[in-house]
Amino acid sequence: MIKFLKLLVIFTILIGTSNLRAQEQVVEFDKNFTHVVYFYLNNPDNPKDRNAFETSLKKFLAKSEYAKTNFIGIPAKTPRDVVDNEYTYTLILTFPSKEIQDKYQEEPAHKVFIEESSHLWNKVKVYDSVKID
């Protein structure tokens, strides 16, 4: 019984520690400036192209000095007339200000991503927004 209790205590500590680490890695979305990008790949059904795009995008985000909060998504395929389900990927980033987002646009990691991946898409749409008071 004592061995069981010791194992239970160790297990509880390990779970608690891993939960704390996960919570520490969460970065809140900044509510001041959003940068929403829709990518339309040339060959959206090509697994090789999708893998190349995802790999490049994730590498870029890992190296970006400014893109701290991000969301990479695919269409949810919600069947409503007002919903665009034709894009291949969406990227949502938030920034504390327009000035920081401007720096993001010029950073080397962002430029390398564009250079590596622009041949994979035929259209990109960007929607930038600032918070209203």
Q: What is the mean pLDDT of the chain?
A: 84
Contact 73, 89 (CB under 8 A): yes
Alpha carbon 34 to chain centroid distance? 12
Whether residue 83 is contained in a domain is answered as: yes
Whether residue 20 is contained in a domain is answered as: no
- When pLDDT is cut at 50, 70 and 90, the band that residue 16 belongs to is very low
- Reported as a single tens digit per residue, the pLDDT across 68-101 is 888 999 999 999 999 999 999 999 999 999 999 9
What is the domain-level CATH number for residue 118?
A: 3.30.70.100
Whether residue 12 is contained in a domain is answered as: no
- What average pLDDT does range 10-38 have in this prediction? 60
pLDDT at residue number 15? 46
**Count of domains forming the chain:** 1
pLDDT at residue number 3? 53
pTM of the model: 0.77
pLDDT at residue number 1? 53
Residue 64 clears pLDDT 90, i.e. is over it: yes
Contact 95, 66 (CB under 8 A): yes
Q: Which residue has the tokens 């979305």?
A: 29
- Reported as a single tens digit per residue, the pLDDT across 92-132 is 999 999 999 999 999 999 999 999 999 999 999 999 999 88
pLDDT at residue number 9? 39
Whether residue 14 is contained in a domain is answered as: no
pLDDT at residue number 69? 83
**Helix axes 47-63 and 108-117, enclosed angle (nearest 10):** 170
Whether residue 21 is contained in a domain is answered as: no
